[in-house]
């Protein structure tokens, strides 16, 4: 009977020791797991959009902006002739720009980029390519190929005409990345080109811009809105760097 009790006691000690060992082993494993640092995978950050309200603009070659350019309820308006072309205070190289515009009857304006303010340059179009804004039906430029709304002005005409009638808002998306340009009008890419390509060089040599050697050459430049003497409206102007 004594031997039996002793054997039972020994078995109990062995069981308790085994349980203690298993507990320690699990705890050690847990600590080892906790000590392993999981390498974080970098997440690609989406570039932030910046709203370009009127406070982000100034007149070309000026530190101020004329009273003819006004903003009311989020709409920037050129109220009449004499406002002058306006440019962004900051420069942009690789970017996506979105905006909406509408033009007055018979009106003309334009959206420019890569604009430089060198002493030898007297206007935004001496350096900056233009995405044309026009009343195609009532303005005389509407009869000229490469001068209609959506065109790369005096360089390349739109592949398809998507402009809306006068008085309606048109949506623009302009993407410039490493010298490649996409011009979108109302959801359709209407022009695409690469600065310095054979196609672009041939178009440039046939254009009026050959008299300004800096045309299209300034990679990091201002965005500009044109005063062509006609009333024009812009809204929802936003940009992000790429």
Q: Note down pLDDT in tens along the chain; length 242 residues.
A: 444 455 554 454 455 555 544 454 445 444 444 544 545 555 666 789 999 999 999 999 999 999 999 999 999 999 988 999 999 999 999 999 999 999 999 999 999 999 999 999 999 999 999 999 999 999 999 999 999 999 999 999 999 999 999 999 999 999 999 999 999 999 999 999 999 999 999 999 999 999 999 999 999 999 999 999 999 999 999 999 99
Q: Within a domain: residue 26?
A: yes
State how far the Cα of 165 lies from the Cα of 105, in Å rounded to an integer: 10
| pLDDT the model gives residue 44 | 65
| pLDDT the model gives residue 21 | 45
Q: Does residue 128 contact residue 169 with C-beta atoms inside 8 Å?
A: no
| pLDDT the model gives residue 46 | 76
Q: Within a domain: residue 45?
A: no
On whether both 76 and 31 belong to a single domain, the answer is: no
- Number of structural domains (the chain) is 2
On whether both 2 and 80 belong to a single domain, the answer is: no
Q: Does residue 230 contact residue 106 with C-beta atoms inside 8 Å?
A: yes
Backbone φ and ψ for 110, nearest 5 degrees, come out as -170, 155
On whether both 146 and 186 belong to a single domain, the answer is: yes
On whether both 111 and 21 belong to a single domain, the answer is: no
């Amino acid at each position: 009977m004594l031997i039996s009790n002793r054997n039972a006691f020994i078995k109990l000690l062995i069981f308790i020791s085994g349980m203690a060992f298993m507990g320690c082993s699990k705890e050690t494993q847990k600590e080892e797991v906790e000590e392993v640092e999981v390498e974080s995978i970098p997440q690609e950050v989406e570039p932030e959009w910046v709203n370009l309200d009127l406070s982000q603009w100034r007149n070309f070659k000026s530190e101020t902006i004329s009273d003819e350019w006004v903003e009311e309820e989020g709409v920037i308006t050129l109220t009449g002739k004499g406002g002058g072309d306006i440019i962004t205070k900051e420069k942009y190289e690789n970017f996506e720009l979105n905006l909406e515009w509408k033009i007055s009857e018979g009106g003309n304006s334009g959206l420019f980029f890569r604009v430089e303010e060198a002493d030898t340059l007297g206007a935004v179009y001496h350096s900056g390519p233009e995405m044309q804004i026009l009343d195609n039906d009532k303005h005389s430029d509407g009869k000229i190929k490469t001068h209609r709304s959506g065109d790369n002005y005096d360089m390349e005409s739109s592949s398809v005409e998507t402009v809306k009638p006068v008085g309606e808002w048109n949506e623009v998306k302009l993407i410039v990345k490493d010298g490649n340009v996409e011009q979108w009008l109302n959801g359709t890419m209407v022009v695409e080109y690469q600065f310095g390509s054979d196609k672009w060089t041939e178009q440039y040599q046939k254009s009026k811009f050959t008299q300004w050697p800096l045309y299209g050459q300034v990679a990091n430049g201002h965005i500009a809105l044109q005063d062509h003497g006609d009333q024009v409206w812009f809204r929802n102007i936003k940009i992000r760097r790429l």
